[in-house]
Amino acid sequence: MASQQYKAWSVVTASTFAFTVCFMVWMMFAVIGIPIKKTLDLNETQFGILVALPVLTGSLFRLPIGMWTDKFGGRIVFFLLMVSTIIPIWLISEGTKYWHYLVTGLFVGVAGASFTVGIAYCARWFPKHRQGLAMGIFGAGNTGAAITKLLAPTIVVAYGWAMVPKVYAVLMLVTAVIFWMFTFTDEDHATGHSTVTVREQLQVLKDPVVWRYSQYYSIVFGGYVALSLWMTKYYITEYGFDLQLAALLAAAFSVPGGVLRAIGGWFSDKFGAHTVTWWVLWISLVCLFFLSYPQTVLTVQTVTGPKTFHFGLGPVLFTIIMFTMGIAFAIGKASVFKYISDDYPHNIGVVSGVVGLAGGMGGFILPIMFGALVDLTGVRSSAFMLMFGVVWVSLMWMYFTEVKPMSVEQSLKQHPESTHFT
């Protein structure tokens, strides 16, 4: 009979593989959406809606999926979720009109809810002091975004974009079978062992701390998803690259955003969720400051006549900064969920569902706003300007709700006499 430790690591390994495939599917329109946009002559806002719509259902389903995971156990919920997406994935290849892709995208987007079930399923197999690492390893499945950017363009060039959903549908079927073979059911969180009612689960929606964690996650995950969807097209329109090169460079942001999440879990276990998240937001803010600056041509009248100067990020420096921000986002995604495992050990599923929903909604809303801003201003870097503002607001929120109260508490401990009145 398999040991508990073997079961735990088998669950994490199989779940991480399954989540990687689900994330590949979830990010599929980031690549196939580009030839679809060209074929249907879509504007930037319509393209934003196309790539973001799967994120909507993946986000909205995270709360009920989290509740079902708490009640029925992670194994069966994860398996049924994957099976439910296979036919919709295949049907994308049969689409011919804009609304066809929107509808099938909504159904395929359910794959994005796999994060909530997987994070709760994996965390429960480990003691508290190792949950950050376990959740970080599982979260590395975000690398599916990068794999799609590397694999899908090759398929598009060789066989046409319609082959991508066909390949992904078969891959999802195989993954569901493998997942079921190499995972286990823990009787402590399987069917019939949870007596928590829906009403009790939804009480977390009244907790302001949950909403603060949701705000953090809307940046580190929502921003990650949004930029993963947007970057391939950004490279094409900003720097004139072809699809394969653009997708390859865009993967420089997506790869660390997934792979290094495990390191973020380890950092969070060692230094604490608050410290890690605080520095993640500051690093992101600095990166976004430079990314926000648009390509600028400045003409100055000098004594020898007008001189023109050009300011703007070239593709190399742009990619380096995006890579750096991808690392920060990866670590931040793990640190936010370390908050949850520390503060809500008995209902990780529903709380991670709420926080995951908020993060996913960020991934849905931001690409649409990116497209609308480009259509409105004509400035491509306006996407980063928007994100800079969001991160700044979050830093202020974190300062007044966490940093400042902690400073006051520490000061009172060091000078207890200050609390007495004479």
Nearest Cα to Cα of residue 26 among 96, 103, 89, 109: 109
Instruction: Note the Cα 64 to chain centre separation in Å.
Output: 18
pLDDT band at 10 (very low <50, low <70, confident <90, very high): very high
Q: Which helix (H) or strand (E) holds 239?
A: helix 222-239
The pLDDT, as a whole number, for residue 21 is: 95
The pLDDT, as a whole number, for residue 279 is: 93
Q: Does residue 422 belong to any structural domain of this protein?
A: no
CB 64 within 8 A of CB 140: no
The pLDDT, as a whole number, for residue 422 is: 39
The residue to which tokens 């706003």 are assigned: 369
Q: Does residue 416 belong to any structural domain of this protein?
A: no
Q: Does residue 421 belong to any structural domain of this protein?
A: no
The residue to which tokens 């870097």 are assigned: 381
Q: Does residue 417 belong to any structural domain of this protein?
A: no
Q: Does residue 134 belong to any structural domain of this protein?
A: yes
Mean pLDDT to the nearest integer, 357-379: 88
CATH code for the domain of 11 = 1.20.1250.20
Q: Does residue 51 belong to any structural domain of this protein?
A: yes
Q: Is 234 helix (H, G, I), strand (E, B) or coil?
A: helix
The pLDDT, as a whole number, for residue 410 is: 65
Q: Does residue 345 belong to any structural domain of this protein?
A: yes
Q: Does residue 419 belong to any structural domain of this protein?
A: no
Lowest mean pLDDT segment, chosen from 195-199, 213-217, 387-391 = 195-199
Q: What is the pLDDT of residues 62-80, one digit of tens each?
A: 778 877 887 788 899 999 9
Q: What is the pLDDT of residues 150-177, one digit of tens each?
A: 899 999 999 999 999 999 999 999 999 9
Higher pLDDT residue, 405 or 162?
162
Nearest Cα to Cα of residue 106 among 56, 148, 154: 56
d(CA 360, CA 240) in angstroms, rounded, equals 30
Host domain of residue 390? 4-411
Mean pLDDT to the nearest integer, 34-55: 90
> Could you tell me the two tokens for 171?
């891959």
The answer on pLDDT for 417 being more than 70 is: no
Q: How many domains does the chain have?
A: 1
